[in-house]
Amino acid sequence: MAAVPEGPEVEATRRLLAPAVEGRVVAGVLVRDPRLRWPVDPLLADRLVGRRFERVGRLGKWLLFEVPGGALLAHLGMTGSLRVAPSSEPPLNHDRALVALDDGNSLVLRDARKFGALLWAEGDPAEHPRLASLGPEVADAALDGAYLYARAAGRRGPVKTLLMDGGVVAGVGNIYACEALWRAGVSPVRAASRVSAARFGAVAEALKDLFAESVALGGTTFRDFVGADGKAGGFVERLAVYGREGQDCPRCGEPVRRRTIAGRATFFCPACQT
DNA sequence: CCCAAGACCTGGCGGC
DNA sequence: TGCCGCCAGGTCTTGG
């Protein structure tokens, strides 16, 4: 199954990269192909070289490599990965940008489809336009049933679309939206404004549980990520409905159904998700 | 504000 | 085998 990076995969990546990156000073920047989601800043090297990565953070699906006065923002898009590899290693086929560190290693962004991004944020990265509009993190206490219920008011679109709106919740992608709704027993096609506060409470809990479980498993599967390439997270085997059209619902045995919502493949159990 | 559809990009796969 | 066309989903943009 796809290794599409959603919040948990990005967090697993952050945890593996942080020890290799924090404290290192940037020695050089090589952009092999600047044509990502947005063009890579031609002055990126000027901004980064000589500066020390103080911390690797995350907001939603964004990774924040913080230096004094700013941050390098990285998004993995749909096919992106980040790894730390010896600077002497030749780049791989789709390595788009390399940030050389002062210890002989490089931080490498690999992205076949170029939906990923590498941006420079001057000053407080949380104020960068791409990040400022994001909703609360899944793990935030602010994300609960009451919050989702309030945000759903007046929204007649499917509840699944609400969950995938980054302005409502940060870091939830198609797979986790499908899985959280299955766990909560809520139909993805139900109008958002017609989901009760109590049921949104179950959705919020499901999101938090899924994230925690997935980060733990992703962490094990991504063990070789530093120095090698990442593969699909171990959470794939735990998916209840995503990618399982026609197979038995793990809860009630009814065949899992698939349909398109807002242009995205959506998997759900027609019997126990209402 | 809300919402659906389009755009971006390319590897992998099914069908012939 | 080889070629063709579809599919994957993050998120910004556009237009109703």
Please write the tens of the pLDDT for every residue from A170-183.
999 999 999 999 99
Chain B positions with an atom below 7 A of a protein C-beta are: 1-11
In chain A, at which residue ranges do the beta strands (DSSP E only) sit?
26-31, 55-59, 62-67, 70-75, 80-86, 95-101, 105-111, 117-122, 257-261, 264-268
Looking at residue A5, its pLDDT comes to 81
> What's the average model confidence in pLDDT over A128-153?
96
Grade residue A220 by pLDDT with cuts at 50, 70 and 90. very low
Calculate the average pLDDT of chain A: 91
A189 touches strand B (CB under 7 A): no
Looking at residue A8, its pLDDT comes to 87
Catalytic residue list of A:
5-6, 61, 264
Grade residue A238 by pLDDT with cuts at 50, 70 and 90. confident
User: Percent of chain A at pLDDT above 90?
Assistant: 85
Q: What's the Å distance between residue A24 CA and nucleotide B14 C1'?
A: 47
The residues close to strand C, meaning Cβ under 7 A, are A 2, 4-6, 37, 60-62, 75, 77-79, 113, 115, 130, 133, 164, 166, 173-175, 263-265
Distance between CA atoms of residues A125 and A194, nearest Å = 36
Chain C positions with an atom below 7 A of a protein C-beta are: 7-12
Of A234 and A168, the structure prediction assigns the larger pLDDT to A168
